[in-house]
Structure 1
Amino acid sequence: MQIQNNVEKINFPCGIRNFPDITDKISNGRSTYEFEFPWIVAIFKNSSIEKHEFISSGTLIHPRLILTAAHIFDNYVDSNSAEEISIIDKYKNNLYVRSGDYDLSNTKESKGHQINIIDEIIIHPHFNRSISLYDNDIAILYLRDNFTFDYNVQSICLPPENAIFNNKNCFTAGWGKNGRKKLGKYQNILQVTETPVIEINECKKRIYQYEKINRKNNKNSFLPINNDSVICAGGKFNKNPCKGDNGSPLFCPIDNSINQYYQVGVVSDASNCNLEIPTFFTNIAFFRPWIDFIVTDAFNLKIDFYKYFLDEIEEDLTPTYQPKKYNF
């Protein structure tokens, strides 16, 4: 598949948080300000003319590409193919993305949201929920048209390959539920909370101890096989993603940069909502070579929209995606 790109680079640096002068704490979670994080998008299913169902979230990495979690699309795709996953016929033209959103119940925001149909879903070739709940849980959505970048529609920065964020104070944001099971309600206004990153072995130890005591699951069902493919964060009450936050970003401030963020993870597990145990996220730094490969080789697009300008020089942008080397 080779898709030509005619979009010009618009002068919006990646990963910008609007309202940089706001100093209120995010640590306990709060509603975001209007268009505070302009790279977070909402994914919907159009079930009928009048029914539009919120599915999950994702992030803009290019005017035509969304980064999200693979497991979200288990029921919407024909998984018999390999990397290029076909959308099941009854869902074609019915899966779409809204960018520039803040309040999902409001269609009269100060800057209107944009809508775009999902034309293709690229799921990591080694994603297999029956083998591991978390490994390789990453997908890229190709949209029918480019989104128009503006104050409320921009792209997120992605970290360099193998970057480490242990012990960083990072954040998650989404429209998911505010509590477990029937106690929680989906949120109309985008919510954000502080979500500190935890070293992976400590994280797995805490999760295993909790699961062994409280759920008595087989340990292979809830721990990742490849430590490098996940990043772990949260673990404090009210600091974990909940149902509906799948695909949402885990993002961290970029060192030595004012008001710019890397997306370091994608919510892969929202089952620990309101529990004092950490949550697994897909590790974006580990999958950066695969993302670059899909963007440049499959779609013939540029990575400039998610590249932080100090990370790499133009001459060194040849994708390094090598399945054997990275065990993808």
Structure 2
Amino acid sequence: MPKIYYNGVLSVLFASCLLTCVNCNADSNDKLNYDYIDNKVNQYSTSSTAKNDVDIFLKTNQTNVDNSNRSGKSIRMESTPSYLPQFKDSMEETGCGFGYPNGLSVYAEEINASEVQFGEFSWTVKIHNDEPFIGTGALIAPDIVLTAAILLRELKPENLIVRAGEWDIGSVTEVFPHQDRSVKLIIRHNEFYGVVNNIALLVVDMKFILQPNIRTLCLPSPGTIFDYSACKTTAWRPATNNRPQQTHFQIQPRHKCDQRLPSPYLAQDYTLDESLMCAIDENLQNSSILNTGAPLFCPIQGAMNRYTQAGIVIGSINRSESKTGLFVNLTHLMPWIFKQLGPRQTDLKYYLP
């Protein structure tokens, strides 16, 4: 595992002209019990009334779903519908950051290797307003979303909607429904400028109800070791694909970022600001498929299928010899996050492993 060194000098970066961003405008008891979920999903999928129940739910809520996109009102789901498998207790006990590698779909369907399966990484949320897609973020508590501040320039909270549990943005036929919430507060870093300290929290008007396709992601904590060489991010490209795609990244040591990034991203001494980091697409082909605000998450060593968020997507820098992603360095900004969450008495279990 490569070692990452965070030795930078605070700098002012003027790099927006070079940034390519798809959506800037528009086996132990503490692990997730996969056998339990498989059994529940199988029971549900073989039920004679399952399909009818889903059809009834969709017909009943279709108007609300459509109206939520236009009016900005939340769809208030007080609990997981009774006809769906009940996972709440199991999820509460396992904690943050658990992915479901085989997905949660009850439908036999082959998907592209780069396509995210339904429920595989269930912490990514979609942010929209009158525009159907602004960007994405990570759910770190039932009422808190972590995203990039640059995504929210000149936007007011009352105009924003956060959708959790989304997968296929062209369909509402997933077995577990999505949930919408209105944003009541935007908390931006008070020293955000350019792309420096590019971090913000969204506080929604009512807590999301956790369910298999809506979970929280862990944040970096002291003593947690994660694999910098096997990180991932997911992204929708609404114009061409309704389902999210995943891209694998290797976080680079800071001195390599200094070499890879164009000079407008660097300070006068040609070093990268400590609030930023870079990573390369290991396939060198998908780094342009990025959603600003999306989490860059990495496997926690010694914990199967468990992840912690290492960064926040800002965008990609396309150069002839490489494709490099630019990300917020979340480890550096954790003191700011703790300062915001502490007074809100946000339970640590939602975002610390």
Determine whether 1:240 maps to 2:294: no
Secondary structure of the 1:53 match is: coil
Report the counterpart of residue 162 of structure 2 in structure 1.
97
Report the counterpart of residue 347 of structure 2 in structure 1.
302
CA RMSD of aligned residues (A): 2.9
Taking the aligned partners of 2:313 and 2:141, their CA distance within structure 1 comes to: 20
Taking the aligned partners of 2:271 and 2:318, their CA distance within structure 1 comes to: 15
State whether residues 226 and 308 of structure 2, in contact with CA within 8 Å, keep that contact through their aligned partners in structure 1. no
Taking the aligned partners of 1:115 and 1:155, their CA distance within structure 2 comes to: 16
Taking the aligned partners of 1:29 and 1:203, their CA distance within structure 2 comes to: 29
Taking the aligned partners of 1:307 and 1:218, their CA distance within structure 2 comes to: 31
Secondary structure of the 1:119 match is: strand
Taking the aligned partners of 1:146 and 1:202, their CA distance within structure 2 comes to: 41
Taking the aligned partners of 1:164 and 1:273, their CA distance within structure 2 comes to: 31
1:107/1:29 CA distance change after superposition, 3 Å: same
Determine whether 1:285 maps to 2:331: yes
Matches within 5 A, 1:134-213: 135-160=196-221, 167-176=228-237, 185=239, 187-208=241-262
Report the counterpart of residue 107 of structure 1 in structure 2.
172
1:218/1:95 CA distance change after superposition, 3 Å: closer
**What TM-score, normalized to structure 1?**
0.70
Contiguous gaps of at least 5 residues in structure 2: 1-87, 105-111
Report the counterpart of residue 55 of structure 1 in structure 2.
134
Determine whether 1:36 maps to 2:115: no
State whether residues 20 and 259 of structure 1, in contact with CA within 8 Å, keep that contact through their aligned partners in structure 2. no
State whether residues 42 and 98 of structure 1, in contact with CA within 8 Å, keep that contact through their aligned partners in structure 2. yes
State whether residues 239 and 274 of structure 1, in contact with CA within 8 Å, keep that contact through their aligned partners in structure 2. no
* 1:231-264 CA-partner distances (Å, limit 9, x unpaired): 2112552242446x10011111100011100110
Aligned pair partner of 1:229 in 267, 275, 278: 275
State whether residues 258 and 272 of structure 2, in contact with CA within 8 Å, keep that contact through their aligned partners in structure 1. no
**1:277 CA drift (Å):** 3.1
1:272/1:120 CA distance change after superposition, 3 Å: farther
1:123/1:195 CA distance change after superposition, 3 Å: same
Report the counterpart of residue 318 of structure 2 in structure 1.
272
Report % sequence identity. Answer: 28
1:186/1:94 CA distance change after superposition, 3 Å: farther
State whether residues 176 and 241 of structure 1, in contact with CA within 8 Å, keep that contact through their aligned partners in structure 2. no
1:301/1:218 CA distance change after superposition, 3 Å: closer
State whether residues 219 and 352 of structure 2, in contact with CA within 8 Å, keep that contact through their aligned partners in structure 1. yes
1:265/1:117 CA distance change after superposition, 3 Å: same
Report the counterpart of residue 5 of structure 1 in structure 2.
none
Report the counterpart of residue 121 of structure 1 in structure 2.
186
**1:220 CA drift (Å):** 5.1
Aligned length: 255
**Amino acid in structure 1 at the alignment position of 2:119:** F
Taking the aligned partners of 2:212 and 2:281, their CA distance within structure 1 comes to: 33
**Amino acid in structure 1 at the alignment position of 2:303:** S
For the pair shown, the structure with the greater C-alpha radius of gyration is 2
Taking the aligned partners of 1:69 and 1:224, their CA distance within structure 2 comes to: 22
Report the counterpart of residue 16 of structure 1 in structure 2.
98
**What TM-score, normalized to structure 2?**
0.65
Taking the aligned partners of 1:155 and 1:166, their CA distance within structure 2 comes to: 19
Taking the aligned partners of 2:320 and 2:288, their CA distance within structure 1 comes to: 8
**1:278 CA drift (Å):** 1.7
**1:172 CA drift (Å):** 1.1
**1:116 CA drift (Å):** 0.4
